[in-house]
Structure 1
Amino acid sequence: MSPMSPVLVGFDGRPESVMAAGWAAREALMRGAPLRLVHAWEQAPQPYATLAGAAVPQHPYGSARLLADMEALLIRRHPGLQIAADRVAGDPATALLTAAADAGMLVLGSRGLGRAAGFLLGSVGRSVVARAERPVVLVRADTTLDAAGADHGASARDVVVGVDLDQPDDSVLLFAFEAAARRGAGLRVVHSWDPVGENTSAAGLPGVDDPAEGRTMTPRQPPADLLRPWQDKFPDVSLTEQTVVGQAASHLVDASRDAELLVVGRASRHAPIGPQTGPVTRVVLHRAVPPVAVIPHD
């Protein structure tokens, strides 16, 4: 992919997809990339299709009007942004994944879980996240962005990324560092360490916070060595390392409550029962507050 690969957003006119389009427009501007609005609709056998939540009527003529109105709104808000709008027929998940083959990322809207945090994903959203070969960003309908992509929340909030130090992947870290650099934001790197079976005689030494035990322990592999080359590559990104004991997903949810973006990885290896999101990503999507970027990796 080139640096100018488009940011693609699935759009169906629902409030969550409107918010997703605004988020995607802002991301495209930061990347210096074009934006592509895609409305996927299925003629048969089901007259209704959905991107991330409840069903919404799909009609080729109605979708053209929806796309035109959204495109006009974004052009007024971002006159320098290059925007294309397309309607594609077929299974919505497959259509979106096919359309995103040359995209830099795919953005989808999701309904929030009422007053609770987390994302309510329909079958299309779940399928896209599990099968995508490009980064997928999920944006809640109650994000601090308005419909045109203006952020009314706190400025320069941190980006948070979950890292597996035993099996780190460069694509996850690259996405997180680039996202923080574009936003002029800090980056919080969260690593969860399970001390079961490890030598915990180092309790009391500087290292890992264990709130449940009120002590600190030192992990077998410190994150500094992994992150040092990235700090050299992105010297303007303020980096915070947080190594914690326990389940990774819960700590990521807690660490990202006031973040602008949460970044997690998803192993793209094909499971015998079909594509899966993985346990950490599944919990994060159910409970996280900010937009979540899911990065596929080997």
Structure 2
Amino acid sequence: MTSMRILTVGTDGSHESMSAADWAAREALRRGLPLRLLHADCGERPAPPPHDVDLPGRGVLDRAALRLSYLYPSLEIIARRRPAPAVAALLAAAAESETLVLGSRGFTGYSGFLVGSVALAVTASAERPVVLVRAGGLPEDERARAGGAFLPVVVGLDVTGPSDEILSYAFEAAALRGTELHALHAWTLPPLRADASGVTVAPGDAARRETLRRRALEGALQVWRAKYPEVRVVERLLYGQPGHHLLKASTAAGLTVIGRDIDADRLGRTAHSVVHHVTSPVAIVPHT
């Protein structure tokens, strides 16, 4: 997997894509990267070219680039149009980028995302991190108060599986914002079972299981604490379903980070719940 030193945002002129572009512009500035605005358009061309091309009639891109250049004059902006189906174009762009940013519509009267089929397909298959940004998100939503400190970054971890790619992204995001990282792991006891005689058997020592999970969480964080000593880490070991706890934590987060198995062809149950319902931008980080 290779990537360019660039951040890409998909844009189609919609309100949600402009919110995503605005968030992506601020993130590109934080990371010191150029921002590529990408518009996918099949048009009537028989086959897409192998690389980005400049084409006439780029009204959507021009309007987005003009707005962002006015708001963020120091940002390097590259506007590109790819004559290809949206999912294919965005997946190709994700493979070339450090991060791909997409927009999602907020539910009316309900805090959360309405994630379209294109965004879901890209998020479930991208080789690089994908960030979903809710329509209507404002720069001040990232901070505890106007001009104040950034809200914490929340990362959801499964300590029984790989976590380095997820923690790398989460620690860097927290360091760039100068904010806390809340590392959350939720666990549950296995269900009760019956032995051969039909007698219900307890699932084991809950206190011991909790201790083992806590040690695993501390171990997963140890290397990254040393690499990012400036980041204050809050460990949160919680009993219950991870999706439920991540949704609660996201209400006070500036960014929520979760993982996705890169070999899976779809989002898992927890990731699916998070991308649809959290109130903060969500970064979905593929891991091996």
TM-score (norm 2): 0.85
Indicate if the aligned counterparts of 1:145 and 1:153 stay in contact, CA closer than 8 A: no
Residue in 2 aligned with 1:164?
158
Q: Secondary structure at the match of 1:72?
A: helix
Indicate if the aligned counterparts of 2:162 and 2:287 stay in contact, CA closer than 8 A: no
Q: Partner letter of residue 31 of structure 2?
A: R
Residue in 2 aligned with 1:77?
71
Give the drift of 1:140.
0.4
Residue in 2 aligned with 1:250?
244
Cα distance in structure 2, aligned partners of 1:268 and 1:280 = 15
- 1:281 pairs, out of 260, 271, 276, with 271
Q: Which runs of 5+ in 1 are unaligned?
A: 46-59, 203-207, 209-216
Q: Secondary structure at the match of 1:259?
A: coil
Q: Secondary structure at the match of 1:67?
A: helix
- 2:131 pairs, out of 133, 137, 140, with 137
Q: Partner letter of residue 228 of structure 1?
A: Q
**% identical aligned pairs:** 42
Counterparts in 2 of 1:142 and 1:266: CA distance versus 1, 3 Å:
same
Give the drift of 1:226.
2.0
Indicate if the aligned counterparts of 2:260 and 2:286 stay in contact, CA closer than 8 A: yes
Indicate if the aligned counterparts of 1:93 and 1:128 stay in contact, CA closer than 8 A: yes
Cα distance in structure 1, aligned partners of 2:212 and 2:175 = 28
* Offset from partner CA, 1:193-214 (integer Å, 9 cap, x none): 1123341256xxxxx9xxxxxx
Report runs of 4+ in structure 1 exceeding 6 Å deviation. 1-4
Q: How does 1:1-298 map to 2 (within 5 A)?
A: 5-43=5-43, 64-145=58-139, 154=145, 155-196=149-190, 197-201=203-207, 218-222=211-215, 223-270=217-264, 275-298=265-288
Indicate if the aligned counterparts of 2:65 and 2:79 stay in contact, CA closer than 8 A: yes
Counterparts in 2 of 1:3 and 1:98: CA distance versus 1, 3 Å:
closer
* Offset from partner CA, 1:211-241 (integer Å, 9 cap, x none): xxxxxx5444522222122111111111100
Cα distance in structure 1, aligned partners of 2:76 and 2:207 = 58
Cα distance in structure 2, aligned partners of 1:5 and 1:70 = 21
* Offset from partner CA, 1:240-278 (integer Å, 9 cap, x none): 0000111111101101111000000000114xxxx1011
Q: Secondary structure at the match of 2:139?
A: coil
Cα distance in structure 1, aligned partners of 2:273 and 2:66 = 36
Indicate if the aligned counterparts of 2:152 and 2:255 stay in contact, CA closer than 8 A: yes
Cα distance in structure 2, aligned partners of 1:219 and 1:245 = 13
Give the drift of 1:25.
0.4
Cα distance in structure 1, aligned partners of 2:162 and 2:93 = 29
Q: CA RMSD in A?
A: 2.3
Counterparts in 2 of 1:38 and 1:153: CA distance versus 1, 3 Å:
farther
Q: Partner letter of residue 16 of structure 2?
A: E
Cα distance in structure 2, aligned partners of 1:3 and 1:31 = 15
Q: Partner letter of residue 33 of structure 1?
A: L
Counterparts in 2 of 1:15 and 1:117: CA distance versus 1, 3 Å:
same
- Point out the structure with the larger helix share: 2
Q: Secondary structure at the match of 2:158?
A: coil
Q: Partner letter of residue 108 of structure 2?
A: G
Cα distance in structure 2, aligned partners of 1:2 and 1:233 = 23
Q: Secondary structure at the match of 1:172?
A: helix
Cα distance in structure 1, aligned partners of 2:135 and 2:185 = 29
Give the drift of 1:23.
0.4
Cα distance in structure 1, aligned partners of 2:117 and 2:223 = 39
Cα distance in structure 2, aligned partners of 1:239 and 1:201 = 24
Indicate if the aligned counterparts of 1:4 and 1:33 stay in contact, CA closer than 8 A: no
Q: Secondary structure at the match of 2:206?
A: coil
Give the drift of 1:61.
6.1
Indicate if the aligned counterparts of 2:142 and 2:254 stay in contact, CA closer than 8 A: no
Q: Partner letter of residue 83 of structure 1?
A: I
